[in-house]
Amino acid sequence: MLQLSLWSLILKRHLDVLLCHDDELEGRRIAFILYLVPPWEKSDGGTLDLYSADEHFRPQQIVKSLVPSWNTLVFFEVSPVSFHQVSEVLSEEKCRLSVSGWFHGPAIVRPAHHTEAPLPRSPHIPYDHEILYEWVNPVYLDMDSQAQIQEEFEERSEILLKDFLKKEKYQLLCEALENKGIQWSSRGPANKRLYETAEEDSLPDIPKKFLQFLHSEALFLLLSNFTGLKLHFLAPSDEDEDAGEGRAADAAGNSGPKPEQEETEQHTASDPHQPDQPDNIPEAQDGETQNGSGTPVCAGELRHWTHGHYTLVHDAQATEFALDLLFFCGCEDWDPEYGGFTSYIAKGEDEELLTVNPEDNCLALVYRDKETMKFVKYINHRSLARLRKHPNRTGFWDFSFVYYE
Ligand SMILES: *[C@@H]1O[C@H](CO)[C@@H](O)[C@H](O)[C@H]1NC(C)=O
Ligand SMILES: *[C@@H]1O[C@H](CO)[C@@H](O)[C@H](O)[C@H]1NC(C)=O
């Protein structure tokens, strides 16, 4: 016998979105939604999109989009594959009001979630410091500024290094990223992320070289100097110091309040109250065994971000001590209101610890601990307004790398 739980009245307005999730939570069996909307068109957004799933219970693609209409009841069985989203509300005037809830029953046994292979980690590639002089703004190779950066980093656990690359190099890199020959492929699954990554073989020379730079021994050393972390056996060990203690500093630049509801929904798109899935354990262990060898490693990718892209905080997200590096290209006139910023939050809380906004030729370094999670905010359709000023800029790129001691 199923029991009806609390109903909620849900109001969605312009730009609101509820990204892909399955609604699974102990005992939820049937989900229902009653729409109380004014006359609504597909072009108003806010459709209820249903996903197909693969054999590992991962959402694949949207196979049905339901346009809400007044006094219409929608219901579906909650299951390991009941993935759905509410797409971005595009109408500026209309409100998408609905009543929703669940019928609960005895919990049923759910299949174990698929374990996702983490990005491959590798030790540095031998390259001497020449590669630094080739790429990096000389300001950052100066010993005094490195000492200053380290001091600030150790205090705040994060730092932004503006004009990080030499101007000419940076321009060449950005131009090369516009190359039409680069093959971009979509990275999912939708309940965790949606963005594009470059097929490395299709990359022109300059971005390929920049990826090597990010893997280079010289950069491991430079990052050690910037952060006080031991990313190379030659880096001084400061066991005694409180280098990078704690997580991304909460004192750091929050970019102002965000609509409460929107934020909450994004964080909980995969329900945090769900019982722990086994798949976050192998990932964490994996990190430990790899780093147990004492060899610092890194993993990373080149990503393209545009309207509709995002990442979500999810249960299986690996959380471990690590140094995040983000380097941005093609973000001229990017407004944080479009989304696309990286937000760090404390596990199990909605409090925002730190926001990193996309900024041209800017290197962001963030040290995080086991209690810190991150996500990239959904990029809304306002971002398309930028095309009026920059006809060829549908989005931006970033090089996202993680370094492990
Ligand atoms: C790191 O700092 C040391 C001095 O503490 C210096 O000798 C070395 O050249 C620096 N490394 C890089 C890559 O700048
Ligand atoms: C945009 O791309 C077109 C064709 O690829 C090119 O001819 C044009 O110069 C570009 N415009 C800008 C502002 O870069």
DSSP letter string over 317-353?
A: ----SEEEEEEEES-TT--GGG---EEEEETT---EE
**Contact of 366 with 356, CB cutoff 8 Å:** yes
Gap between the Cα atoms of 135 and 214, Å rounded: 11
pLDDT score for 113: 76
Kindly report, residue by residue over 210-225, the tens digit of the pLDDT: 999 999 999 999 999 9
Q: Which ligand is nearest to the CA of 147?
A: 1
**Contact of 130 with 209, CB cutoff 8 Å:** no
Kindly report, residue by residue over 184-239, the tens digit of the pLDDT: 999 999 999 999 999 999 999 999 999 999 999 999 999 999 999 988 888 877 65
pLDDT score for 239: 55
pLDDT score for 293: 59
**Contact of 80 with 55, CB cutoff 8 Å:** no
CB neighbours of residue 103 within 10 Å? 18
Q: Which helix (H) or strand (E) holds 223?
A: helix 217-227
**By CB neighbour count within 10 A (0-12 exposed, 13-18 middle, 19+ buried), where does 143 fall?**
exposed
The residues lining ligand 2, judged by C-beta closer than 6 Å to any ligand atom, are 391-392
Whether 221 lines ligand 1, by a CB cut-off of 6 Å, is yes
Q: Please give the DSSP secondary-structure letter assigned to residue 180.
A: T
AA letter at 73: L
Quick check: helix, strand or coil at residue 256?
Answer: coil
Gap between the Cα atoms of 267 and 287, Å rounded: 24
Tell me which of 146, 164, 231 to substitute to probe ligand 1's pocket, judged by most ligand atoms within 8 Å of the beta carbon.
Answer: 146
Q: Which ligand is nearest to the CA of 175?
A: 2
Q: How does residue 267 score in pLDDT terms, banded at 50, 70 and 90? A: very low
| Atom in ligand 1 nearest the alpha carbon of residue 218 | 13
> In the chain, how long is the greatest CA-to-CA distance?
71
User: Pairing relation of β-strands 372-376 and 342-346?
Assistant: antiparallel
Residue 128 CA, ligand 1 centroid: distance in Å: 12
Gap between the Cα atoms of 178 and 192, Å rounded: 27
* pTM of structure: 0.84
Gap between the Cα atoms of 179 and 193, Å rounded: 24
